């Protein structure tokens, strides 16, 4: 049964949108990957048009930051959980046992796959309504100027430039896991000093995690300096 929030009638297409590559005999034709690819493009178009029309005073940079903060993994995964899509996921036993049902990257993917389904069945206007309805809270948040609350890479870039005139560099230290369960391990450096490390199902997710850890380190060091315990520059 398709969740009532989704304006979709085709149950076979919905099941395809919920099927992870690990549970598909043919990952190209029997998993959500193609639908996710298509839905990602529809999502980007709808959010870009919304920002263009509703924020006429924002420049390209502001709109780009705002768009990135809405279409990134964390808010999309949160929406998927709110809709209960985790209960419909079709995963292999190994993916299930390693927490795939709650993995943000998978949840974000299936939400985008659903967008692709809605567009293919009913067209752009219905897909637009669905996207804006489900992402309403995130869009209201950025409307008040909080355009990148979860973009740790951008925040670290700003801190590093303002404090040391340096640009953080991200290095993939290793990749682990099977093809359907790949994990990236990334470290972020300022000059040759490692400031944070992160792991994720994508390079982008791992880099965000590494940047978040680096920001935590910088914040702890600054607070320690304020009480005279750590000579942080």
CA angle at residue 198 from 197 to 199, to 5 degrees?
140
Residue 201 CB partners (closer than 8 Å, separation 6+): 103, 105, 106, 182, 183, 184
| Active site positions, annotated | 40, 112
Contact 176/185 with Cβ under 8 angstroms?
A: yes
Task: Please provide the DSSP assignment of 152-178 as one string.
Answer: HHHHHHHHHHHHHS---EEEEEEEES-
Mapped onto helix, strand or coil, the DSSP state of residue 79 is helix
In this structure, the number of other CB atoms found within 10 A of the CB of residue 192 comes to: 6
Beta strand 169-176 with 193-200 is unpaired
**Other Cβ atoms closer than 10 A to 175:** 12
Q: 183 pairs with which residues across the strands?
A: 176
Handedness of CA 185, 189, 193, 198 (dihedral sign): negative
């Amino acid at each position: 049964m398709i969740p009532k929030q989704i304006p979709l009638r085709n149950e076979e297409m919905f099941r395809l949108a919920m099927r992870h590559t690990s549970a598909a005999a043919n990952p190209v034709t029997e998993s959500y990957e193609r639908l996710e690819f298509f839905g990602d493009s529809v999502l980007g178009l709808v959010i870009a048009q919304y920002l263009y029309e509703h924020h006429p005073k924002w420049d390209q940079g502001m709109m780009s930051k705002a768009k990135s903060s809405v279409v990134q993994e964390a808010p999309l995964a949160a929406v998927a959980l709110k809709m209960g899509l985790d209960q419909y996921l079709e995963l292999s036993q190994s993916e299930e046992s390693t927490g795939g049902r709650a993995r943000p990257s998978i949840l974000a993917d299936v939400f985008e796959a659903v967008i692709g389904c809605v567009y293919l069945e009913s067209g752009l206007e219905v897909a637009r309504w669905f996207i804006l309805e489900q992402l309403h809270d995130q869009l209201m948040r950025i409307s008040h100027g909080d355009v990148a609350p979860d973009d740790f890479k951008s925040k670290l870039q700003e801190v590093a430039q303002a404090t040391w005139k340096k640009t953080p560099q991200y290095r993939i230290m290793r990749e682990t896991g099977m093809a359907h369960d790949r994990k990236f391990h990334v470290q972020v450096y300022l000059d040759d000093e490692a400031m944070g490390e992160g792991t994720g199902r994508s390079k982008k997710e791992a880099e965000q995690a590494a940047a978040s850890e680096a920001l935590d380190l910088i914040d702890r060091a600054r607070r320690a300096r304020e009480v005279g315990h750590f000579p942080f520059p």
